[in-house]
Structure 1
């Protein structure tokens, strides 16, 4: 859902009969909905059952995809994309379920495998969208997405066991409303500021109101007995530094997602573009996600031997080396292919490490909320990257040979920003306190073997 519309984004004004100023909301709506829903879904999963909440989100995803498949105007499409974005909460819930139901010896490799599917889904979304856009009606994209969501729902119902690990309590309605309003304000300002202008009254109004609401929300969460997000737990060294490193890694990931497709597709007359078709460019980028999947057993083995912290340090180092190489080698498609595969390796290691680090530092009853907050931090990193990279490339626009596009200098600045984000992630990872092994944080073996509640007498 995050990448499925990227290849046809320039065509959205024509496809939806809307202005180019309004169609970016189709992308922004998904981003904001995902950021808001993810930590809330994690808390609801801790309270009412992670499997139950994940299945509800998958149904919302299916409904949103069907609505999008039936839409040809802007407003229904935005509503559909909001519903699709809410399904992002399934990812941290799924990772949290692993801790509740798997034996400790299988936990690290399982987290790595599920984390890697993020990259596989994103990588498959690009060529799928490109092929459909060039050969079929674009609505087919969403019929496929609806089928995948319903299949996932059925597999959850049949295969995934219900967890008995719960954190019962009162639902923090005020906390949900405060977090939602604050995030909406900040993320809309960040994602639309480049288009509106950073000094525009709308940008400032959304940004200032969002920050003020989030500050008030934080004060409230510290005082309430059963908060939506336990900020005291989030302030622990391991959790805090892992979340900050997640912001940096999210930035590094998104910077490449913006630069490489444009480098591959810009006409060669520009002197920087490689002139590939939409489908071929998507196929060049797809192996990155497969590299993430291939790294999952390696990441699991390393996590068992060394713990999750070295995974994050190593992943950030690989990403930094990849961006450094991209600054020099970007003139042939095979160079971008190799660099992007290396980025996939680094992201695979880092994404496997972050949930493991979080779960090593929080109680089992707060796994869903903690993983949801970590996923929010990654989303925040990609949101900031979208705003910053968009502004840099927009400022570097030039015309060469009758083709208007970003200059080589703009691309180099963006790659340098990705390198800086990877180095920042590396530094933060180095200073994360060494956590206990994730297996030590898992449930006792007798609880894992029989998830049914003990009889009462």
Structure 2
């Protein structure tokens, strides 16, 4: 293969990796702004319509470690193409005039695509030079989050003009393009790779995550059937404990849980989990506040489309932070950057808690959140991959994304519970003070994330880890272990 052709393929590969990560994130997020429209279009309750989002998160959380393991093997290209084909098929089901049950099937298929983000990172680490791969991995991590900000306003605009089917039609269009991009650009995995999917472990993880996300999304179950909710919570814990034991004892587990014994990897995942809870609380608070009608005594009564525009600063500043992060990592340790990013996100909470009397202040809070989330997301892969062999990139990052998905779901649930607790009997909308209380919960979450990251930075001192590079590449000795 000529040098010219190699350079040409490399130029095509990076945009394809970023585009695929952006598409699967944006398509999976389509459920959130369309919940009310789905309820009216399909004549179902809001709780039922909520499952168009929950089921996508669930299928993504289950598929992510499985795809991560398959992506570590010799058939990574085929895994990516088949997964995108499933996403395209699911997108078609959301557009066709079929009953509500088929819409849920389609949304579940779309959610499977969330597992591709970790595979995009594995491809970048295997086929790009070290410095470029680090920047690409950081960018992939960022767009997997700011895709939410891209999907919301577009979905709202299309719904206003063409109905819910038109919004899902956009998902079908962009996923088809993503499939073609992958077909044209995805290289084969390096020689000598092998992959084994732990079926029993996958079932245990699927069952545990299903119950966790189900319980997080069913607020009425906790209030009206507390005993049932507690029993299901115990079952979820038992399933996840069984999966953990299986992963530690198995020779070829679904996720290499032994890697979590390393303080840096364990600390990074704890920071991701708590940080994700805080990030999603603020994201949902601001969008919900913006759509609350003036009759509630606060809010701005924005339509779905206009409320989605509030997320544009989140996406723009998140992208800017993602581009700046690789340069900052040349001067700042990755864990220290995580801590600094958590402080920035906490600043967004403080801004929302103290100043939300006009729409400009909501834009400012969303801008601060976007910059903090972008920097946090871009720095996270380097912290984990510094202690991960190249062959385990997809698997290691897939677990981190499972942690993030569960954190997002819990953040959404916690925010909803706080607002529900602040809603007076007979009223539809919570009191304005409930938003302040929820913001204080988010500030506490980001304080914990900051402390965890600072402890992690202390453990990752240059004297203790002389071979770990900011780019996230492991030392030769580690990669061969």
TM normalised by structure 2 equals 0.87
Tell me how far apart the structure 1 counterparts of residues 153 and 235 of structure 2 sit (CA, whole Å): 39
Task: State whether residues 90 and 109 of structure 2, in contact with CA within 8 Å, keep that contact through their aligned partners in structure 1.
Answer: yes
- Which of 101, 108, 133 matches 2:134? 108
Name the residue aligned to 2:316: 290
1:132 to 2:158 alignment: yes
Q: In 1, Cα distance between the equivalents of 2:97 and 2:383?
A: 42
Q: Which aligned pairs between 1:282-361 and structure 2 lie closer than 5 A? A: 282-361=308-387
Between the aligned partners of 2:227 and 2:201, the Cα distance in structure 1 is: 27
Contact 1:116 1:289 in 2 (8 A): no
User: Is the 1:315–1:349 Cα contact (8 Å) retained in structure 2?
Assistant: yes
Picking from 384, 387, 390, the partner of 2:413 is 387
Distance, in Å, in 1 between the alignment partners of 2:287 and 2:329 is 33
CA contact (8 A) 1:26 1:78 kept: yes
Give the equivalent residue in structure 2 for 1:121: 147
Q: Quick check: 2:269–2:403 contact (8 Å CA) kept in 1?
A: yes
The 1:325/1:21 distance shift into structure 2, 3 A limit, reads closer
Q: 1:72 to 1:406 in 2, by over 3 A?
A: farther
Q: Where does 1:50-129 land on structure 2 (aligned, <5 Å)? A: 50-129=76-155
What's the Cα RMSD here?
2.0
Is 2:469 the partner of 1:437? yes
Q: Deviations over 1:94-142 (max 9, x none)?
A: 1222111111122332222212212332111111111112111211122
Q: Deviation of residue 325 (structure 1)?
A: 1.6
Instruction: Quote the offset at 1:290 in angstroms.
Output: 1.4
* Among candidates 37, 41, 63, match of residue 37 of structure 1: 63
Separation in structure 2 between the aligned mates of residue 443 and residue 71 of structure 1, nearest angstrom: 54
Cα shift readout 1:27-65 (whole Å, capped 9, x = no counterpart): 221111111111111111112443332222211111111
Q: Which runs of 5+ in 1 are unaligned?
A: 445-457
Q: Distance in 2 between matches of 1:413 and 1:9?
A: 25
Instruction: Name the structure 1 match of 2:230.
Output: 204
Q: Is the 8 A contact 1:99 1:442 kept in 2?
A: no
Map of 2:212 onto structure 1: 186
- Among candidates 239, 245, 264, match of residue 290 of structure 2: 264
Query: C-alpha displacement at 1:285, in angstroms?
Result: 2.1
Alignment of 1:100-249 (within 5 A): 100-164=126-190, 167-192=193-218, 194-197=219-222, 199-249=225-275
- Is the contact between residue 117 and residue 293 of structure 1 (CA under 8 Å) also seen in structure 2? yes
- CA separation in 2, counterparts of 1:81 and 1:357? 32
Question: Residues 378, 27 of structure 1: CA spacing in aligned structure 2 closer, same or farther, 3 A cutoff?
Answer: same
Asked if structure 2 preserves the Cα contact closer than 8 Å seen for 1:7 and 1:278, the reply is yes
Choose from 443, 451, 461 the match for 1:419: 443
Q: Specify the SS of the correspondent of 2:44.
A: coil
| Higher RCO structure, 1 or 2 (CA under 8 Å, sep 6+) | 1
Distance in 2 (alpha carbons) for counterparts of 1:210 and 1:164:
38
Match of 1:449 in 2: none
Pairwise CA distance, 1:439: 4.1
Measured after TM superposition, the shift of residue 163 of structure 1 is: 2.8
Residues 49 and 164, structure 1, Cα contact 8 Å, conserved in 2: no
Give the drift of 1:415.
1.1
| Contact 1:119-1:288 within 8 A present in 2 as well | no
Change (3 A) 1:170 1:377: closer
- Alignment correspondent of 2:40: 14
How far apart in 2 are the matches of 1:325 and 1:21?
31
TM-score by length of structure 1 reads 0.91
Tell me the distance in 1 between the aligned counterparts of 2:102 and 2:329. Answer: 45
Per the alignment, in what secondary structure is the counterpart of residue 108 of structure 2? helix
| Structure-2 separation of matches of 1:238 and 1:227 | 21
Match of 1:453 in 2: none
Q: By how many angstroms is 1:297 displaced?
A: 2.2
Alignment partner of 1:372 is 2:398: yes
The number of equivalent residue pairs is 441
Contact 1:393 1:410 in 2 (8 A): yes
How far, CA to CA, are the matches of 1:329 and 1:268 in structure 2? 17
